[in-house]
Amino acid sequence: MNRIYDVIIIGGGASGMIAAVKAAERNLKVLLLDKNQMLGRKLLASGNGRCNILNHGKLRYYGDPGFAAGILKRCTPEMLIDFFNHYGLMLTEEADGRMYPLTYQSASVVAALKKAILINHIDYAVCTAVQSVNTDHKSFTVLTTDNECITAQSLVVACGGCVQPKLGGSQDGYAFLRQLGHSIVPVFPSLVPLVTDPKSISGLAGIRVRCAVSVTEQENILYKTSGELLFTQYGISGICVMQCSRYITRDHMTIEIDFFQDLFPDEEEAVQELKRRRILFRNETPVSLLEGMVVDHIAYAVLKQAGIPLRGEKAADISDDELKRIVHKARHYQITVKDNKGIDFAQVTAGGADCREFNPLTMESLILPGLYAVGEVLNVDGDCGGYNLMFAFATGYIAGESC
């Protein structure tokens, strides 16, 4: 027997759950399908379990940032806060506009959404994958892998992106949308740790440092940010590194690290400080010139990259030109990027369904009426800090109100 609904939503993540609730609040008969064993599986893992769900600060989106800006005007952070408060979830704001559940537990966010699903009598099925989607341009028919046919006037594709396949990431959403006539901008992992040339990170694994980080190509700075960087066995990680990752578009691009961030206004002042130290620490090793500014392992790496001999020399043996080279390398320490860690380790998918083919006021397809796409399946990705979840919730909210 063919079940009939007003709305079918494929994907029980952040965007799919909120779309289901907003549609059901309008007394529509809604079915939410998810192939995972539970709703909100990826959401549970968000932010190391703390779940930074919104950001009140300046928008920081890529792919189609204009589309994202239009979405956040249509569905503001305040509207999302009101939604969560209504269903019992209180939020708190931290630095830079980042908003978290008051419990700092992603489980609280999932619990509130599940409560909203229960209150609004929404039908849902987990462990239920969609095999195919068809349309006669009047309604949509979904065939599940259990060979069940389900029909609805509206279909919301909320399958998410392809990263983190262990948490349900897949190419499904792109395949469904392509099948229904939509264009897909090539996808790639973003917010992902980087694999680097081992020479420049030798001996540094496990060290964390606050610094400025730049992506450079032929001495041109493509992107610059700052924060905590983590050296690993394979390369570098940390939020500031992951935000650089989408700018690494080919092999052997360079990351430059400024270990002297905010320490000296210019290189000349740093050189003068090293000259003072050269006298004070004249009988110690050259590593002492950077003591108290960076940890010894990093000092050694900087001196090595600056070409300073370390075969028993004393600080007093270092020339003025060598001091200048040390300062320059401390501010422009170079690491060659070989690759990224791939879809298993990325936080978000860049690329996706072409936003120009969807109405930002409704999330409805401009190609096929009744079809909606929300969340990470679209060609929008944001920086760390709640931007990606905020976009997912906002697009789901709008689609649920519109379909």
From 383, 350, 348, 335, select the one nearest 232 (Cα to Cα).
335
Instruction: Give the three-state DSSP class for 239.
Output: helix
Query: What confidence tens digit (pLDDT) does each residue in 390-400 have?
Result: 999 999 999 99
Tell me what the mean pLDDT of segment 121-125 comes to: 97
Flag whether pLDDT at 61 surpasses 70.
yes
pLDDT of residue 1: 53
- Contact criterion met (CB below 8 Å) for 315 and 220: no
- The whole-model pTM stands at 0.93
From 105, 99, 76, select the one nearest 385 (Cα to Cα).
99
Query: What confidence tens digit (pLDDT) does each residue in 323-359 have?
Result: 999 999 999 999 999 999 999 999 999 999 999 999 9
Tokens of 110: 């999932």
Distances (CA, A) of 39 to 14, 85, 111, 167: 9, 20, 10, 11
pLDDT of residue 192: 97
Distances (CA, A) of 110 to 87, 105, 188, 290, 352: 11, 9, 27, 48, 25
Reported confidence tier of residue 86, pLDDT bands at 50, 70, 90: very high
Query: What confidence tens digit (pLDDT) does each residue in 175-207 have?
Result: 999 999 999 999 999 999 999 999 999 999 999
Instruction: Give the three-state DSSP class for 101.
Output: strand
Residue 284: DSSP 8-state: S
**Side chain identity at residue 285, one-letter code:** T
Q: What architecture is the 3-189+347-402 domain classified under in CATH? A: 3-Layer(bba) Sandwich (3.50)
Query: What confidence tens digit (pLDDT) does each residue in 171-181 have?
Result: 999 999 999 99
Cα torsion angle, 76, 52, 111, 67, sign: positive
What's the CA gap between 213 and 254, in Å, rounded?
10
What's the CA gap between 150 and 128, in Å, rounded?
12
Instruction: Give the three-state DSSP class for 88.
Output: coil
Domain ranges of the chain: 3-189+347-402, 193-341
What's the CA gap between 227 and 229, in Å, rounded?
6
Flag whether pLDDT at 47 surpasses 80.
no
Query: What confidence tens digit (pLDDT) does each residue in 250-298 have?
Result: 878 999 999 999 899 899 999 999 999 999 999 999 999 999 999 999 9
E strand or H helix that includes residue 8: strand 3-10
Flag whether pLDDT at 73 surpasses 70.
yes
E strand or H helix that includes residue 32: strand 30-33
Reported confidence tier of residue 77, pLDDT bands at 50, 70, 90: very high
Q: Are strands 380-382 and 123-125 parallel, antiparallel or unpaired?
A: unpaired
What contacts 136, CB < 8 A, 6 or more positions away? Answer: none
What's the CA gap between 221 and 218, in Å, rounded?
9
Tell me what the mean pLDDT of segment 213-242 comes to: 94
Count CB-CB contacts under 10 A for residue 29: 17
Percent of the chain with pLDDT over 90: 92
What contacts 85, CB < 8 A, 6 or more positions away? Answer: 91
- Contact criterion met (CB below 8 Å) for 41 and 84: no
User: Higher model confidence: residue 147 or residue 112?
Assistant: 112
**Side chain identity at residue 273, one-letter code:** E
pLDDT of residue 45: 87
Tokens of 268: 């000349």
Flag whether pLDDT at 5 surpasses 80.
yes
